[in-house]
Structure 1
């Protein structure tokens, strides 16, 4: 499963008033693991940012003038999001800007470029009704440090959102109950959903840990006067560092 966490920074609040995207960032996750492969673009908007927007992202007109315009790098975005689920916080805002930029570039709406769009803000509101669900509030709720976030930046925000999304959806790839939607009590459903064990990280015991484990089992053996139940169910080989008892 390939997911893209996307964020933008803009010159203002409404593309209908001529405002443009000035920064675009995407972070890739495959099977709920960050791959380190990301897309990060600064864009020349050919206009100044509103003072309020400039206070948010700090990207000046002079700084952005050295970077390409959206239509010059649009193909990078098209290729990057192809076939993926794209996760955006307050997706309606970012998508309306992306649609406006793609239209100027002679391309179709953003939704046609990817497999699907998920709004993490709507998901958070369902999960935490009546609470603040901004990115900062969610970072605080899930114990994710954003102390280094003095200004909004698309790459940093997308990285933070990726961590928040993993925290909000933790457990979705394990023993999910997949009940029939027509059965309010869950009866007659399909039971536990399929589970892909390949997504789990396998940590093997070290030699020292195996020795310590054998010593603990001997304590149990001595306490009950016979081999403990653990040995009969799952006998383990003696580690090479263990010393045989005489």
Structure 2
């Protein structure tokens, strides 16, 4: 699956009041792994910042004066996200602004016409009801490093959101249970036992490097989730054998 983690910065909180997008940041993932491809543009808004918005982003009209307008990068931006699943924190906010920008141009439609959308804010509210689920709060809860986030920046926030999303969704998807290839892979390693006959069980040989990587992954899951059932079962087995 191709996913694009997306974030925007704007001149204010409401696109209905004519506020504009001043920064777009996107990070691409393929099968839950970053590809190294990003899309990042600062944009000239042709309007003033609302009070407080400039302090949040650290951007100024002077800095943005020589940057392209949204219309100049729209085609490149849409090509980057086209057909992907977008992962956005508080998707209604970003989609509202981006669709408003697209509406100023002819024939480009809406973001939702090109992409599916996963909202990490809704995911977090379902997993942690009644708790603070801002990006910073999730970083603290899930052990994601956000120490570089002194100001809101679209590309940095998209990179941080990628780590938050992977932590929120760590589990079955990471070991291939949600992959279309999983049933076929299972069929390839299955062995048939004829009625009345016994067949030897397949043996899997694990290298020291693989065992070390496996242990590190389990430790990471335990740190993020607060527990790891596999590690608990291993501890019980070792205690029983002692």
Paired position in structure 2 for 1:92: 92
Q: CA RMSD in A?
A: 2.0
Unaligned regions of 5+ residues in structure 2, if any?
187-205, 213-242
Paired position in structure 1 for 2:26: 26
Paired position in structure 2 for 1:241: none
Alignment: residue pair count: 186
Offset at 1:145? 1.3
Offset at 1:55? 1.0
Offset at 1:14? 1.1
Change (3 A) 1:48 1:125: same
8 A contact 1:175–1:195 mirrored in 2:
no
In structure 2, C-alpha distance between the alignment counterparts of 1:104 and 1:139, rounded to whole Å? 35
**1:26-175 alignment, distance < 5 Å:** 26-106=26-106, 107-114=108-115, 116-173=116-173, 174=175
8 A contact 1:23–1:43 mirrored in 2:
yes
Offset at 1:6? 0.3
Offset at 1:131? 0.9
In structure 2, C-alpha distance between the alignment counterparts of 1:150 and 1:55, rounded to whole Å? 11
In structure 2, C-alpha distance between the alignment counterparts of 1:175 and 1:71, rounded to whole Å? 40
TM-score for both structures, normalised by structure 2: 0.73
Change (3 A) 1:128 1:50: same
In structure 1, C-alpha distance between the alignment counterparts of 2:109 and 2:172, rounded to whole Å? 32
In structure 2, C-alpha distance between the alignment counterparts of 1:204 and 1:77, rounded to whole Å? 44
Unaligned regions of 5+ residues in structure 1, if any?
178-192, 198-202, 210-246
In structure 2, C-alpha distance between the alignment counterparts of 1:7 and 1:195, rounded to whole Å? 36
Higher helix share: 2
8 A contact 1:74–1:105 mirrored in 2:
no
Offset at 1:196? 6.4
In structure 1, C-alpha distance between the alignment counterparts of 2:110 and 2:47, rounded to whole Å? 23
TM-score for both structures, normalised by structure 1: 0.71
In structure 1, C-alpha distance between the alignment counterparts of 2:128 and 2:177, rounded to whole Å? 20
Structure index of larger Rg:
1
Change (3 A) 1:195 1:95: farther
